[in-house]
């Protein structure tokens, strides 16, 4: 694949940015990739592992002359970072982000950008429970979705170019409006994460079950929850604070449904339970058929041991 942007600036050098860098290099999608992170430690790590062609000590230096600038910082600081870099952006540059929430990010970022740049929010639906500049890998976005959220006034050629870039990173790309994005993600990601965090916290609290037992006997079920609940705390705090309404709505529905199942257990309504569990099994089948997960038992963990 050929060069899509002459210079890409990655602002924030965590899991997503570092994976983007390695994926850009894999296909030669950019002439040069600059990187900036607020912490000296992160910048030094990036230099040590050759993450980015050029690691910059200031955001001004990183974005200067870049025709694509991608905000890869926690959702809660997107606005402030946008404001900081705004004076140094190149004319006609494309500005994007990778935040898990779109409405609040747009509200925070857009007013801080000058009029001579194009803001096309994006969200790659990919990640792992690891974080930091050393956690990235080129394959992270392969066969995953990336949702673009252009505004009604976005230039379609600018959007098309960003789409082509994300396809080059390995993703399947679709467009969606911000509110719908936030609801879909509340269901498929935000509420499940909060629930996993909660369950892991509860297990830790239950005094009669010692810590070591919870860890020792964590078979399938709890073990998978702990993986989800190991994700970056700052990132997730910001996601919940910035997708408050949709997350609370889904959690409300969840609680309602959970109460109904608890009641079925209490009243020993086995048919209700069986019907419910049969229905959810069918949904899993759909995900595998859609190519979004492996059908290998237990994610292939068993086979590898």
Residue 174 Cα distances to 10, 29, 122, 293, angstroms: 22, 20, 10, 19
**Is the four-CA dihedral 15, 21, 25, 30 of positive or negative sign?**
positive
Q: Is 151 in the site for a second copy (CB under 8 A)?
A: no
Residues 233-252, interacting with a second copy (CB under 8 A): 233-234, 236-238, 240-241, 244, 247-248, 250-251
Interface with a second copy includes 111 (CB under 8 A)?
Answer: no
Among 32, 84, 139, 167, binds a second copy (CB under 8 A): 139
Q: In what order do the strands lie in the sheet with 172-175?
A: 122-124, 145-148, 172-175
Q: Does 18 bind a second copy (CB under 8 A)?
A: no
Query: Whole-number minimum distance, CB 107 to a second copy, in Å?
Result: 15
Q: How many CA atoms lie within 13 A of 15 on its CB side?
A: 17
Partners of 174 in beta bridges: 147
What is residue 305's DSSP assignment?
-
**How far is CA 78 from its chain centroid?**
14
**How many residues of this chain interact with a second copy, rule: CB under 8 A?**
112
Q: Does the footprint of a second copy cover residue 48 (CB under 8 A)?
A: no
Here's the x/- map for a second copy, 170-189, by CB under 8 A: it reads as ----------x--xxx-xxx
Minimum CB distance to a second copy smaller for 48 or for 237: 237
Taking CB under 8 A as the criterion, which residues in 186-225 touch a second copy? Answer: 187-206, 208-209, 211, 213-225
Question: Which of 114, 79, 105 lies closest to 178 in space, CA to CA?
Answer: 105
Nearest residue (CB) to a second copy, 121 versus 127: 127
Q: Which stretch binds a second copy (CB under 8 A): 43-51, 59-67, 87-95, 296-304?
A: 296-304
């Amino acid at each position: 694949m050929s060069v899509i942007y002459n210079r890409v600036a990655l602002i924030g050098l965590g899991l997503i940015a570092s994976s983007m860098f390695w994926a850009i290099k894999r296909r030669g999608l950019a002439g040069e990739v600059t990187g900036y992170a607020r912490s000296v430690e992160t910048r030094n790590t990036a230099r040590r592992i050759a993450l980015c062609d050029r690691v910059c000590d200031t955001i001004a230096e990183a974005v200067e002359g870049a025709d694509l600038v991608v905000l890869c910082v926690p959702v809660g600081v997107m606005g402030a970072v946008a404001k900081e870099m705004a004076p140094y952006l190149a004319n006609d540059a494309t500005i994007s982000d990778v935040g898990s929430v779109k409405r609040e990010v747009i509200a925070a970022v857009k007013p801080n950008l000058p009029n001579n740049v194009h803001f096309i929010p994006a969200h790659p639906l990919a990640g792992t429970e690891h974080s930091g500049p050393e956690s990235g890998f080129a394959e992270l976005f392969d066969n995953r979705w990336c949702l673009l959220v252009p505004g009604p006034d976005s230039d379609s050629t600018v959007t098309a170019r960003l789409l082509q870039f994300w396809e080059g990173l390995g993703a399947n790309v679709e467009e969606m409006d911000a509110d719908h994005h936030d609801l879909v993600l509340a269901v498929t990601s935000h509420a499940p994460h909060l629930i996993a965090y909660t369950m892991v916290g509860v297990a830790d609290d239950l005094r009669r079950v010692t810590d070591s037992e919870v860890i020792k006997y964590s078979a399938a079920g709890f073990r998978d929850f702990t993986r989800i609940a190991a994700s970056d705390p700052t990132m997730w705090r910001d996601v919940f604070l910035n997708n408050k309404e949709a997350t609370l709505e889904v959690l409300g529905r969840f609680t309602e449904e959970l109460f109904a199942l608890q009641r079925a257990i209490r009243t020993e309504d086995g048919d209700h339970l069986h019907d419910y569990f049969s229905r959810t099994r069918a949904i899993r089948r759909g995900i595998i058929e859609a190519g979004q997960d492996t059908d290998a038992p237990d994610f292939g963990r068993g086979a590898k041991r």
